[in-house]
Structure 1
Amino acid sequence: MALPTIILLLLVVLFFSSNATQPPRTLHIPVLHRDAAFPPAPGATSPISLRLHAADATHYTVQLASSLHSTTITDDQQLRSPVVSGLPFDSGEYFATVGVGDPPTRALVVIDTGSDLIWLQCAPCRRCYRQLTPLYDPRRSSTTTHRRIPCSSPRCRGVLRYPGCDARTGGCVYTVVYGDGSSSTGDLATDRLVVFPDDDGIAHHNVTLGCGHDNGGLFESAAGLLGVGRGKLSFPTQVADTYGRVFSYCLGDRMSRNTSTSYLVFGRAPEPPSMAFTPLRTNPRRPSLYYVDMVGFSVGGERVAGLASDSSLALDAATGRGGVVVDSGTAISRFAVDAYAAVRDAFDARAAAGGMRKVDDNFSVFDACYDVYGYGGGHPKVRVPSIVLHFAGGADMALPPANYLVPVVGGDRRTHFCLGFQAADDGLNVLGNVQQQGFGVVFDVERGRIGFAPNGCSA
């Protein structure tokens, strides 16, 4: 979770099917939608059903469904982007269900490629936010599983960025602060981490994690965080002896309840033929993050020109500037100001030619929003310019419209669609989870590459 952003709450739940004492070489984890665990409140506004169909190689046609209250999700592979009332993306992380301790306490934790430490809220709490699963109390766990790490341990002084020491107990104290201001402080410990298929589970012993007694920020509902970055304390690194330094996921449609084919996999899985790879870069100033180089954009089938500096999208290892971070913990992608402005202006020109009327008002962080209603009282068709992200090594991401058109509801209760990117003025470009949804994404540290495959959830 590297950056502040407005985001939509989604759920990722992990399930393994294997013998608890013999973990498989590859762990495959289906994903369920948040509504499976958090049903919408009675009387909540129903989504607006929107169908997006490919019209040609460079544009898409948007057809508003005749029923504005349709919530049916079918298996016909149509791409649907429902609209909810209120500002979208109030919270947008994906979650995993794990168990901690013995007997295990189940916990929903955010899956975050932008950080390393695994932590969860623990009793006794000095400051804890509301979570939807039971609070973990290490005092009720077996003393053979939960053990505090001493201040003198290399896992304290040699790994933590800001190590502390409890003078009373001699135990290591961690503090993590995220880009959006969220934070956690507590005891660094080793414990038993379990992932459940049903009542049984695959247990990993002596996993280093944080037991947070002072927590706050934008982790509402989550019990903590599962760091899957590149650092020594991340989950992939800690289980690399079993599964290798490679994992993959497909983050399903953030609004659809039909996400049973989404997944998270640790270990090397078969790669679909459509998988395209780009080199994985390392930033010495931020070594835990997964960096790639972008080489440009196409809008409406034409390469975007007029960028003040293409180098803003490529990593300068000497300065730590540039490059693009692939981050599951950020929702909306952010690009350097000049790159964002060039893409926005190219999209705006082609959107106008396709019948999309730009509205004067801005919605939250979005400054390019469009009205597709009000043309003679019917349900209009408009042509939506296509967007392709180009990465070094020839890897392209041709984004479906739902990955860059964000539906918002204005004060007049009219629904508009905004270009779902942001300008980044801090030198940190990020490929967020809204743009990644539906793609199979492989983080292959062993071979120094990251791969993208369209329709990855179905694959």
Structure 2
Amino acid sequence: MDTGSDVVWFPCTSHYLCKQCSFSSSSPSPSIQQPFIPKESSSSKLLGCKNPKCSWIHHSNINCDQDCSVNSCLNQTCPPYMIFYGSGTTGGIALSETLHLHGLSKPNFLVGCSVLSSHQPAGIAGFGRGLSSLPSQLGLGKFSYCLLSRRFDDDTKKSSSLVLDIEQLDSDKKTNALVYTPFVKNPKVEDKSHFSVYYYLGLRRMTVGGHHVKMPYKYLSPGEDGNGGVIIDSGSTFTFMAREAFEPLSDEFIRQITDYKRVKEIEDVTGLRPCFNVSDARKVSFPELRLYFKGGADVALPVENYFAVVGGEVACLTMVTGPERVDGPGMILGSFQMQNFYVEYDLRNERLGFKQEKCK
């Protein structure tokens, strides 16, 4: 499940090729079970080039062959797709299929039939704001999830919860317990249609140990070129911050944390920083990290949501940065920071709600 992308895709060939993935790239494996085979489905159809949904997956108007006859034009298929993610790619053909989901039947559902991928899992359900996403195609009023603590990662019997509101009712019993912040209007930039897929939030400021971290405003709000702004993305692991925004945050933790020795050699190996040796501490204590959003919503993250123990004796900040130049959001709130939070995407009312709770 990825709120930072919109296409729903899965492997659909027994010869699925996946470079540097966690499962076999030459044959079906238990990791992906049996891949979907389109010819074995009576409702599976190749998407036509003239079908408006073809432009959904390509994010542009497709130029079908202008010289073909009327009949051959009708049979012309949607061109193969190649979807780029921060961690890799996937490519294949677009299908029109019937989706069966807990008693719901949705015909003519657009899905991607991938034949090759790089650095990808065994399929992604896009939950972004694009027309091809699962929420958009189902017409969801809201959806929500509660991500388990990372300590359950190796327990195959545990999985996080996902709730889809298909009935168009505002009757969720959790609603009154949540705090909400409105979604920020997405930037519209030519040739950067992927910006329209993201869920932008109005992050006003961050504090460490009650001290306001000063960072350039241009990274908290999208500019005319679409760069900057804050998005929430369940498909990103750690929160990413532009370098000019990350450095003040990192420096503030370093300034306030004086009880533990900094371990730069671990930082060089993991790419995380700052890191501190906590092996001699009976009880580890770090400054509180609090995020303040527009609408009066604020959240103090549990320390395990922004510091992780590495090697049993070193704790590292799980927020990362990259190159100095940022092309896209200035901050991406990742899934590590969402652990044990009930998060609701209220699409009808254009807002995000959240509440800390023990996810089960």
Check whether TM > 0.5.
yes
Cα deviation for residue 165 of structure 1 reads 6.9
Indicate yes or no: 2:259 matched with 1:358. Answer: no
**Counterpart residue number, 1:104:** none
Which of 298, 322, 328 is the matching residue for 1:396?
298
Indicate yes or no: 2:243 matched with 1:337. Answer: yes
**Residue pair 2:149, 2:359 contacting (<8 A) in 1 also:** no
Cα deviation for residue 253 of structure 1 reads 0.8
Indicate yes or no: 2:46 matched with 1:148. Answer: yes
From the superposition, tell whether residues 158 and 329 of structure 1 become closer, same or farther in structure 2 (CA, over 3 Å). closer
From the superposition, tell whether residues 120 and 333 of structure 1 become closer, same or farther in structure 2 (CA, over 3 Å). same
**Residue pair 2:57, 2:81 contacting (<8 A) in 1 also:** no
Aligned AA for 2:283? Answer: K
Indicate yes or no: 2:203 matched with 1:294. Answer: yes
**Counterpart residue number, 2:13:** 123
**Counterpart residue number, 1:455:** 357
Partner Cα distance (1:389, 1:358) in 2: 25
Partner Cα distance (2:112, 2:335) in 1: 25
Indicate yes or no: 2:149 matched with 1:249. Answer: no
**Counterpart residue number, 1:205:** 107
Question: Pairwise mapping of residues 187-266 of structure 1 onto structure 2 (< 5 A)?
Answer: 187-195=93-101, 202-213=104-115, 215-219=116-120, 222-240=121-139, 243-244=140-141, 246-256=142-152, 257=155, 262-266=160-164
**Residue pair 1:121, 1:135 contacting (<8 A) in 2 also:** yes
Aligned AA for 1:122? Answer: C
Which of 220, 225, 240 is the matching residue for 1:313?
220
* Structure 1: runs of 5 or more not aligned: 1-110
Cα deviation for residue 185 of structure 1 reads 2.0
Indicate yes or no: 2:174 matched with 1:271. Answer: yes
**Residue pair 1:194, 1:203 contacting (<8 A) in 2 also:** yes
In the alignment of these two chains, the number of paired residues is 323
Deviations 1:331-359 (A, max 9, x none): 0001222221111111122221xx22211
Partner Cα distance (2:207, 2:284) in 1: 19
Cα deviation for residue 181 of structure 1 reads 5.0
Partner Cα distance (2:252, 2:55) in 1: 50
Moved over 6 A (4+): 164-169, 258-261
Deviations 1:363-397 (A, max 9, x none): 32212001111x4xxx6223211111111222112
Q: Secondary structure at the match of 2:352?
A: strand
Cα deviation for residue 120 of structure 1 reads 1.0
Indicate yes or no: 2:319 matched with 1:421. Answer: yes
Cα deviation for residue 260 of structure 1 reads 6.3
Normalised by the length of structure 2, the TM-score is 0.81
Normalised by the length of structure 1, the TM-score is 0.65
Which of 148, 152, 161 is the matching residue for 2:59?
161
**Counterpart residue number, 1:303:** 212
From the superposition, tell whether residues 387 and 274 of structure 1 become closer, same or farther in structure 2 (CA, over 3 Å). farther
**Residue pair 1:326, 1:430 contacting (<8 A) in 2 also:** yes
From the superposition, tell whether residues 193 and 158 of structure 1 become closer, same or farther in structure 2 (CA, over 3 Å). closer
Cα deviation for residue 277 of structure 1 reads 1.3
Aligned AA for 2:13? Answer: A
**Counterpart residue number, 1:136:** 36
Deviations 1:280-331 (A, max 9, x none): 0122231111011211111112322x43x23321223x22122111001000
Q: Secondary structure at the match of 2:276?
A: strand
Indicate yes or no: 2:77 matched with 1:182. Answer: no
Q: Secondary structure at the match of 1:152?
A: coil
